[in-house]
Chain A
Amino acid sequence: MEKLGVGIGWRPEIDLTVEQLPGVDFVEVVAENLHVSHLPESVLLLRERGVPVLPHAVSLSLGGAEPVDAQRVAHLAALAEALDAPLVSDHVCFVRAGGLDSGHLMPLPRTRDALDVLVANVKAARQDLPVPLALENVAALLEWPDGELTEGQFLAELVDRTDCHLLIDVANLYANARNLGTDVSRFLDEIPLERLAYVHVAGGEEHQGVYHDTHAHAVIPEVLDVLAQLRARVDPPGVLLERDDDYPADAELAGELAAIRAVLG
């Protein structure tokens, strides 16, 4: 995979911060929040500087039972072309079912049925995308019954059958380890690390014994430790900090990027 470096999620609320922070090698934008014909000035400025801008989608619902929505894929494709992006991404999840919209990235049952549907949807989406697609592991608060595969096996088979890349979120992995007992070491052993496109790091907080991946709090040392465990196995092409709310001072975000760099060595 192309070397990306260390990056941060571009958000309209911190556009000037992202432009001015030192050492931002690449950024990610939430695909659904941008219009191809009215790209924010700040995003265009970053592109002019040669900073890669990666569209990150949250609504394809690739693990949903319905076929993928061609319009959503077309938007992601158009955005990738407008930004000259090296790749795009979405999640291993479902968002909608039975006419209801969860408004969130819901975990999939780790069954053969779910994998077959996900694989078919990913293949369909990829046909209409001009660049590679990376898929991200999500944070789950609950576990489906009757899982037939571990999360790592599920992702490995997904990559094997679709040729997609992986976007590994170490905060989500930590959340699943903390809340559901996912074995971090086994997960990292089972996924094809050579297909790693980049890594997400984010903050969260523990509330009544449950870790919530809020993207609104500081990155906790335990999450950086999961990053270190990943780094011990592979030099990731990129690592990106996600912050979506309760934005801290610029110096604090710079400190979090520095902490990520320190782990990468």
Chain B
Amino acid sequence: MTQPQRDRLGAAQAELLRALLADGEVPAGFDEERVRIEKRALLNKRRGIVEMLRPDVAAELGERFRPLFDAYARAHPKEVGTRFREDAARFAEWAVARGESTAPKKRWWRRAT
């Protein structure tokens, strides 16, 4: 019953999220400065969560953590179904693949089973 509304709303919401998360164009009618502020707030939040989940990665990268994470985030917007732990793990792998960070050492202990 609400399909036409859903289609219009969905297109508008997707366009806004592309602008905010994936460097898409600012949709018509939005204040560009406001979109920039929201974009930064969402990026700060995502980075903060990854930092909390992987303090080891953030510590190893030090001052490079922020610019590197921001570059990763713009190229890899968080997709539906991706958990924050997966996001953090993917960033860690991305940093290793780029030679920015060393692969974590294998754990020498075993988990109790």
Residues of A that sit less than 8 Å from B by CB: 64-66, 94, 96-104, 106, 109, 111-114, 116-117, 120, 141-146, 210, 212
Contacts and interface: CB of A to CB of B under 8 A. Distances in A.
B45 interface: yes
B8 A101 contact: no
B45 A104 contact: yes
Given A64-B13, A145-B28, A101 B6 contact: no
A141 B37 contact: yes
Contacts of A145: 28-30
B14 A98 contact: yes
B79 A66 contact: no
B103 to A, nearest CB: 27
A113 B1 CA distance: 12
A100 B42 contact: no
B9 interface: yes
Given A102-B42, A103-B45, A116-B5, A65 B29 contact: no
| Chain B interface size, under 10 / 10 to 19 / 20 to 34 / 35 or more | 35 or more
B45 A98 contact: no
Majority secondary structure of chain B interface residues (helix, strand, loop or mixed): helix
Contacts of A141: 34, 37-38, 41
Contact of A100 (B7, B30, B80): B80
B21 interface: yes
Select the residue from A101, A114, A141, A210 with max chain B CB neighbours within 10 A: A101
Contacts of A142: 30-31, 34-35, 37-38
Interface of B: 1-2, 5-18, 20-22, 28-31, 34-35, 37-38, 41-42, 45-46, 49, 77-82, 84
A214 B34 CA distance: 17
A146 B29 CA distance: 8
Contacts of B21: 100, 102
The 3 lowest CB-CB distance pairs between A and B, nearest first, are A98-B14, A145-B29, A65-B10
Most buried by B among A109, A141, A144: A141
Given A117-B5, A142-B34, A65 B41 contact: no
Given A103-B45, A120-B1, A109 B35 contact: no
Nearest to A208: B37
Nearest to B9: A65
B79 A100 contact: yes
A217 to B, nearest CB: 14
A100 B10 contact: no
A64 to B, nearest CB: 7
A72 to B, nearest CB: 12
A101 B30 contact: no
Contacts of B20: 102
13 contacts: A65-B9, A65-B11, A97-B17, A98-B10, A98-B17, A102-B21, A103-B78, A114-B9, A116-B2, A117-B5, A141-B37, A144-B16, A212-B41
B9 A102 contact: no
B78 A65 contact: no
